[in-house]
Structure 1
Amino acid sequence: MGKEPAQLVERGGLRGALVRVAARGLHRLLRLRWLVTRPKTQGVSALPVTPEGRVVLVRHSYAPGWYMPGGGRKPAEDPREAALRELREEIGMTAHGTVRDGGEYFHRPHSKRDTVAFFVVEDVVYSARLSMEIDAIGAFAPDALPAPISPAARRRIREWHEGLPPAPDW
């Protein structure tokens, strides 16, 4: 499987560069705010796996590297439903199979105090659509991941692919 080319949709050109500059500037301002307020947030992250066994990752317009889709959830929102909503929003998921609970993790990104509920979503079918937040969407063989990739994504993919127990840290 590792020799097969990745399935990739990405924004390029001048428009893509302008979106990235604006998004990264806004993200820097938010990070300053979080440094002062140290918010406590609830988030979700999902590892979408296609019927062919590829993992779907996203590249944000505001940060370099590849990540699993995910985001915040509303206080009363069910974590599983929030993860599925994020997959619909970020990768254009149109169908899925089994959703497995992958645990809950404490994470401290950019001075926030974030609790992340993690899920593995199998048999994901999607129609890639880019947004202001998502600059690229790719489906990759688990043994041929793109670089750079977030440490959390690499860890969770390795655990899923090799059947390892989850590490305690995000």
Structure 2
Amino acid sequence: MIRARLFHFWFRLSRPMTLGMRGVVYDRAAGSVFLVRHTYVKGWHFPGGGVEPGESTEAALARELVEEGNIEILGRPELKSFHFNRLASRRDHVAVYLITDFRQTRPHVPDREIAEARFFPLDALPVDVSDGTRRRIAEIFEGAPVSDEW
């Protein structure tokens, strides 16, 4: 756990600019979204992560969804918004995609990065959903104005 935190800290400081993405995996039939709880940061978040050199945001999104939730994207994700994440660093930017055409091959088994991962109904989110995740839910599903900041 300390090793993961140190790596995360080093990663944030070692890059001149960071680009990440988050996937809002939405099950229309159940009215639920997929959230993950990391081992190294508090709260529930949308799955996602950093875009590697030579990788598109959509390729990174597909990779992260498989890694964090065993979720395969079946149709093209919809880019919903783009945000400056000054809370992470003054160099961090996050693209947010909505995914409605997907399949989960099997439930996620806890590992060193993801302690828990599952779907939650929009009207029954966990109490400790991160503020950024709550804001994106309000923007996408409740018509709140889209902020350029995470």
Instruction: Specify every segment of 5 or more residues in structure 2 that has no aligned partner in the other structure, as ranges.
Output: none
SS at match of 2:93: strand
| Equivalent position of 1:99 in the other structure | 77
Question: What is the distance in 2 between the residues matched to 1:31 and 1:111?
Answer: 12
Report the identity percentage: 36
TM-score, normalising length: structure 2: 0.84
Q: Does the alignment pair 1:46 with 2:23?
A: yes
**Residue 132 of structure 1, CA deviation:** 1.7
Gaps of 5+ in 1: 1-22
Aligned AA (2:33): V
Residue 65 of structure 1 is matched in structure 2 by 43
TM-score normalised by the chain length of structure 1: 0.75
- d(CA) in 2 for partners of 1:168, 1:110: 15
How many angstroms apart in 1 are the aligned matches of 2:81 and 2:56? 14
**In 2, distance between residues paired with 1:118 and 1:65?**
18
Q: Highest CA radius of gyration, 1 or 2?
A: 1
Structure 2: distance between partners of 1:166 and 1:151: 14
Q: Take 2:78 and 2:118, find their aligned partners in 1: how far apart are those partners?
A: 21
Q: Which has the higher helix share?
A: 1
Between the aligned partners of 1:112 and 1:30, the Cα distance in structure 2 is 18
Q: 1:128 aligns with which of 94, 107, 117?
A: 107
Aligned residue among 78, 88, 98 for 2:56: 78
Cα RMSD (Å) = 2.3
- 2:132 corresponding residue in structure 1: 152
